[in-house]
Amino acid sequence: MEEKRGRARYVRGLFDSIASRYDLANAVITLGRIKKWRQCLVGEINLPDAPLVLDLATGTGDLALAIARRSPRARVVGVDLSLEMMGHGREKVRRAGLDGRISFVLADVTALPFRDDVADCVVDAFLLRHIPSLPDAFAEFKRVLEFGGEIASLELTQPTNPVFRPVFWFLFRNLIPLLGGLVSGDYQAFRYLPRSLQPYPGHAEMSAIMRGAGYENVRCRLMWGGAVAVHAGTKPD
Ligand SMILES: C[S@@+](CC[C@H](N)C(=O)[O-])C[C@H]1O[C@@H](n2cnc3c(N)ncnc32)[C@H](O)[C@@H]1O
């Protein structure tokens, strides 16, 4: 419990400190691909009419915005630990005229302040690496999902392609901290990125964790030589 709190505190401090340059740093280190990856997640989910969607670890709100734009009657609730990140999200949502449909809640996604079976869909992007216990987190996400509701998670993963794998790790350990540090002014934050991915499971293991947490129809879509994955699944009826 203490370890979980310590990690949450560290992650919150880290994202609070880079919030104002987060979007730019991400665009630079992903060579602008991050938008496409989020669109890929949005394309993976089937939404009913007027769904309630939870965007866990919403950060600066880009995934929440993509969902609200795709599904014009959706209500989206973004959840995050970092007030600074959500402050930037709130401003973007206001500028897009979507503040009637997207709201923000300050909370830890591992203990969601929502009742059981409330959401039609749960999504998250670049969250899972920060989570201490993936089986517990997937169980918590399933708790708030409606029966038959869908989950979709976008995250970097261990690349499967044997040629690309060493290239990826070289870039990830060296170039990304450098570029991210240059853009954000916070080298420490971007050194944390490769460290956070090291103990993280590969995509097949991730699918197994989701099945183990009770999701069905678990599927995985890989991008970028297997370095980026969208995992999706359904809470059984
Ligand atoms: C890499 S950012 C991703 C933001 C956004 N989803 C995106 O696509 O850009 C990770 C976000 O996860 C949040 N986060 C990490 N652990 C969390 C937790 N346990 N509960 C809530 N938010 C968390 C951080 O505050 C940060 O805003």
Query: Which of 60, 63, 80, 153 should be mutated for ligand 1, with most atoms under 8 A from CB?
Result: 80
Tell me if 57 CB under 6 Å of ligand 1.
yes
Please give the chain's pLDDT, 237 residues, in tens. 666 777 788 889 989 999 999 999 889 888 899 999 999 999 999 999 999 999 999 999 999 999 999 999 999 999 999 999 999 999 999 999 999 999 999 999 999 999 999 999 999 999 998 898 999 999 999 999 999 999 999 998 888 778 878 887 787 777 777 777 777 777 677 676 666 666 678 899 999 999 999 999 999 999 988 889 999 999 999
Q: In angstroms, what is the span from residue 58 Cα to ligand 1's centroid?
A: 6
Tell me if 65 CB under 6 Å of ligand 1.
no
Phi, then psi, of 122 in degrees rounded to 5: -125, 130
Domains and CATH numbers, the chain: 2-162+201-234 (3.40.50.150)
pTM of the model: 0.92
Taking the C-alpha atoms of residue 85 and residue 26, their distance in angstroms, rounded to an integer, is 13
Q: Which atom of ligand 1 is found nearest the CA of 23? A: 9
Tell me if 51 CB under 6 Å of ligand 1.
no
Q: In angstroms, what is the span from residue 109 Cα to ligand 1's centroid?
A: 9
Tell me if 104 CB under 6 Å of ligand 1.
no
Tell me if 155 CB under 6 Å of ligand 1.
no
